[in-house]
Amino acid sequence: MKILAVESYGQNAELSLLEAPESFPGRGEVKIQVEAVGLNPVDAYILSGNYALRPELPFVPAFDGAGEIVECGAGVSEFEVGQKVFFLRQTPGAAASRVVLPVDSVALLPEGLSVEEGACLGIPYATAQVALKKVGSWQPTDSVFIHGATGAVGGAAIDWLEYWRDNKNDAHPPIIASAGSKQGLERLLRRPSVSIVDHRDPEHLQQAAQFGNGEGIDLIVEMNAHWYLGKLPGLLAKEGRVVVVGNQGNAVLNARDLMVRHGSICGVFLFMVGAAERKRILSKIASAPAGTWNPEVREAVPFAQAGKAFRGLAAGETHPKWILKP
Ligand SMILES: NC(=O)c1ccc[n+]([C@@H]2O[C@H](COP(=O)([O-])OP(=O)(O)OC[C@H]3O[C@@H](n4cnc5c(N)ncnc54)[C@H](OP(=O)(O)O)[C@@H]3O)[C@@H](O)[C@H]2O)c1
């Protein structure tokens, strides 16, 4: 089988297309013919060599993908050969023509999505779910501010919130969403459920607060905590929560802003989620009705041109998503 191998770290990380021996599914595992691999910002961080996770070279990159089940190991009853699936690996290794994975990391491709779209689901949709529900303790009455809503995790968070909304209740609490890029703003304008602020405007945090119900925001999902964390506690409602998803440096804050509200700041790290919970989240993604999820594909390139996709990713072309094709 074919694998894409990272042979060196750094700005000019070397990628090679290699032949590797076939592996076979053991008990509780399935073998997938990979048809699309989705890239996330973390794949560029790892390739840079400056990230906490630094696999031994050479290694196969990427976590997210989609394809078709070609073999089921002993004890697998929930999948059949021929089914289309998407997957979220716990460790890098998605960029191969075939992968063998435990069933906890695999779920049926949601109705109405292509394999390319399915390959965009894993990290962003699982992270958004964990940020909102498990860590953020989201309640239907909560106002939510997604600070950095035009990227993959932000878009996934909007999809989850719209999915969870009680359709019988018209008086929904606000979903406040921030955009900066022109393309991102265009994406948010297609979302009638959200109130938009422009994060290039220095006043945008105050504007976001005004969209709340006048008593502060219940839940803030933050993609760039290094820039904003110190300012967010002051926007919170009583017992409000800031959930940090993205962070690339230090922040200074006055804890009094938290104390006077019984507010809290929590962090999310998707790879802290155990196998059973990952399975449960992937199954929820799989079983949602057609039209629930809106992943976006930038361009699909063959493994042989993966360098183009990784260079784009490192240069900030993170969303819509680069897809690699075996
Ligand atoms: N903790 C975890 O387990 C976990 C999991 C997945 C991702 N992450 C991290 O979470 C972050 C988001 O991931 P992603 O895949 O959604 O990335 P992405 O697709 O690149 O999205 C980045 C978001 O940040 C926004 N942004 C850029 N500059 C901003 C500014 N000055 N102020 C406010 N927002 C700004 C972008 O908006 P515009 O482009 O419109 O300006 C966009 O909405 C990344 O740092 C990623 O590494 C963490």
Is residue 137 in a domain? yes
Residues 113, 154: one domain? no
Residue 116: which CATH number? 3.90.180.10
Contact 152, 120 (CB under 8 A): yes
- Amino acid found at 109: L
Residue 98 Cβ inside 6 Å of ligand 1? The answer reads no
Per-residue pLDDT, 212? 77
Per-residue pLDDT, 155? 97
**What are the residues whose beta carbons fall under 8 Å from the beta carbon of 310, sequence distance 6 or more?**
13, 15, 39, 43, 44, 47, 322
Q: Ligand 1: which atom is nearest the Cα of residue 148? A: 43
Residues 130, 117: one domain? no
Q: How confident is the model at residue 94 (pLDDT cuts 50, 70, 90)?
A: very high
Is residue 165 in a domain? yes
Residues 130, 264: one domain? yes
DSSP 8-state class, residue 208? H
- Of 7-11, 21-25, 171-175, minimum mean pLDDT range: 171-175
User: What percent of the chain is predicted at pLDDT more than 90?
Assistant: 94
Q: How far is C-alpha 252 from the geometric centre of its chain's CA atoms? A: 26
Q: How confident is the model at residue 169 (pLDDT cuts 50, 70, 90)?
A: low
**What are the residues whose beta carbons fall under 8 Å from the beta carbon of 12, sequence distance 6 or more?**
none
Is residue 277 in a domain? no
113-126 per-position pLDDT tens digit: 999 999 999 999 99
Is residue 290 in a domain? no
Residues 319, 240: one domain? no
Is residue 153 in a domain? yes
Is residue 289 in a domain? no
**What are the residues whose beta carbons fall under 8 Å from the beta carbon of 199, sequence distance 6 or more?**
147, 148, 178, 179, 180
Is residue 134 in a domain? yes
C-alpha 319 to ligand 1 mean position (Å): 9
Residues 106, 235: one domain? no
Angle, in degrees to the nearest 10, between helices 41-48 and 306-314: 90
C-alpha 151 to ligand 1 mean position (Å): 6
Question: The pTM is what?
Answer: 0.97
Protein residue closest via CA to atom 10 of ligand 1? 246
Residue 195: which CATH number? 3.40.50.720
Per-residue pLDDT, 214? 79
Residues 187, 174: one domain? yes
C-alpha 249 to ligand 1 mean position (Å): 14
Per-residue pLDDT, 7? 97
C-alpha 175 to ligand 1 mean position (Å): 17
Residue 105 Cβ inside 6 Å of ligand 1? The answer reads no
C-alpha 216 to ligand 1 mean position (Å): 23
Residues 14, 109: one domain? yes
Is residue 82 in a domain? yes
Residues 195, 308: one domain? no
The number of folded domains in the chain is 2
Domain range for 91 is 2-121+295-325
**What are the residues whose beta carbons fall under 8 Å from the beta carbon of 106, sequence distance 6 or more?**
30, 32, 79, 85, 86, 87, 282
Residues 192, 321: one domain? no
Exposed, middle or buried, 153 (CB in 10 Å: 0-12/13-18/19+)?
buried
C-alpha 229 to ligand 1 mean position (Å): 14
Q: How confident is the model at residue 215 (pLDDT cuts 50, 70, 90)?
A: confident
Residue 180 Cβ inside 6 Å of ligand 1? The answer reads yes
Residues 256, 240: one domain? yes
Residues 161, 111: one domain? no
Per-residue pLDDT, 170? 63
Angle, in degrees to the nearest 10, between helices 122-129 and 275-287: 100
Protein residue closest via CA to atom 9 of ligand 1? 246
Mutate which of 64, 223, 319 for ligand 1? The one with the most ligand atoms within 8 Å of its CB, which is: 223
Strands 217-222 and 144-147: parallel
SS3 226: helix
Residues 168, 91: one domain? no
